[in-house]
Amino acid sequence: VGHVVLAINGAEVNGRFTADGKDVLEFLGNPANYPVSIRFGRHRLSSNEKLMLASMFHSLFAIGSQLSPEVGSSGIEMLETDTFKLHCFQTLTGIKFVVLADPRQAGIDSLLRKIYEIYSDFALKNPFYSLEMPIRCELFDQNLKLALEVAEKAGPFGPGS
Amino acid sequence: QNSELFTLTYGALVTQLCKDYENDEDVNKQLDKMGYNIGVRLIEDFLARSNVGRCHDFRETADVIAKIAFKMYLGITPSITNWSPGGDEFSLILENNPLVDFVELPDNHSSLIYSNLLCGVLRGALEMVQMAVDVKFVQDTLKGDSVTEIRMKFLRRIEDNLPAGEE
| pTM of the full structure | 0.83
Taking the CA atoms of chain A, what radius of gyration do you get in angstroms? 20
Higher pLDDT, B159 or B112: B112
Let me know if residue B166 belongs to a domain. no
Instruction: Indicate whether B91 belongs to any domain.
Output: yes
- Confidence band for A124, pLDDT divided at 50, 70 and 90: very high
Q: Convert A45-59 to b/e letters by CB count within 10 Å (16 or more is b).
A: eeeeeeeeeeeebbe
Among chain B residues, the shortest Cα distance to A129 is held by: B41
**Total number of domains constituting chain B:** 1
pLDDT average, residue stretch A100-124: 93
Residue B167 included in any domain: no
**CA B141, CA B105: separation in Å to the nearest integer?**
10
**What SS3 state is found at B114?**
coil
pLDDT at B31 over 70: yes
Average pLDDT of span A56-77: 87
On whether residue B164 sits in a domain, the answer given is no
- Shortest CA gap B151–chain A (Å): 24
Mean pLDDT of the B64-81 span:
96
Residue A158 clears pLDDT 60, i.e. is over it: no
Q: ipTM of the assembly?
A: 0.87
% chain B with pLDDT above 70: 96
Greater pLDDT, A127 or A160: A127
Contact yes or no for B28/B109 (Cβ under 8 A): no
Average pLDDT of chain B is 93
- Band of pLDDT at residue A156, cut at 50, 70 and 90: low
Chain B residues whose beta carbon lies within 8 Å of the beta carbon of residue A91:
44, 47-48, 163
Residue B110 lies in a domain: yes
What value does the mean pLDDT take over residues A99-105? Answer: 91
Which range has the worst mean pLDDT, A37-46, A74-83, B5-14? A37-46
Indicate if the alpha-carbon torsion angle B128, B134, B139, B140 is positive or negative: positive
- Do B164 and A62 lie within an 8 Å CB cutoff? yes
pLDDT higher than 90, residue A111: yes
Q: Could you say which of B40, B161, B165 has the minimum Cβ distance to residue A74?
A: B165
CA quadruple A64, A65, A69, A70: dihedral sign: positive
User: What is the predicted pLDDT for the residue at A161?
Assistant: 36
Per-residue pLDDT of A74-84, as tens digits, reads 888 999 999 99
What span, in angstroms and rounded, lies between the C-alpha atoms of A92 and B128? 8
pLDDT computed for residue B1 by the predictor: 63
- The answer to whether residue B69 is domain-embedded is yes
Looking at residue A56, its pLDDT comes to 92
Nearest Cα residue in chain B from A73:
B165
List, in order of start, the domains of chain A with CATH numbers: 3-42 (2.30.42.40), 77-154 (3.30.450.70)
Residues of chain B with Cβ-Cβ distance to A73 below 8 Å are: 164-165
Contact across the interface for A62 and B47, Cβ inside 8 Å: no
Q: Quick one: pLDDT band at residue A159, thresholds 50, 70, 90?
A: very low
In B, which residues are within 8 Å of A125 by CB distance? 41, 45
For residue A94, what is the nearest residue in chain B, using CA coordinates?
B163
Confidence of residue A125 (pLDDT cuts 50, 70, 90): very high
pLDDT for the residue numbered B165: 66
Range of the domain at B62: 1-157
Give contacts of A75 with chain B, Cβ < 8 Å: 163-165
Residues 6+ away with beta carbon under 8 Å from A66? B164, B167
Q: Write the DSSP string, A59-74.
A: HHHHHHHHH-SSTT--
Percent of chain B with pLDDT over 90: 83
Is-contact B69 B85, C-beta < 8 A? no
**pLDDT surpassing 60 at residue A93:** yes
Per-residue pLDDT at B147 exceeds 80: yes
- Indicate whether B52 pLDDT > 70: yes
Residues 6+ apart with CB under 8 A from B39: B120, B121, B122, B123, B124, B125, B126, B127, B128
Helix spans in chain B (H): 4-20, 24-50, 58-63, 70-74, 116-128
CATH number where B137 lies: 3.30.1380.20
Residue B163 belongs to some domain of the structure: no
Which residues on A lie below 8 Å from B45 (Cβ)? 120-121, 124-125
Which of A61, A68, A116 lies at the smallest CB-CB distance from B48? A116
Sign of CA dihedral B57, B62, B63, B67: positive
Residue contact A121–B41, C-beta within 8 A: no
> In the prediction, which pLDDT does B59 show?
95
Residue B147 belongs to a domain? yes
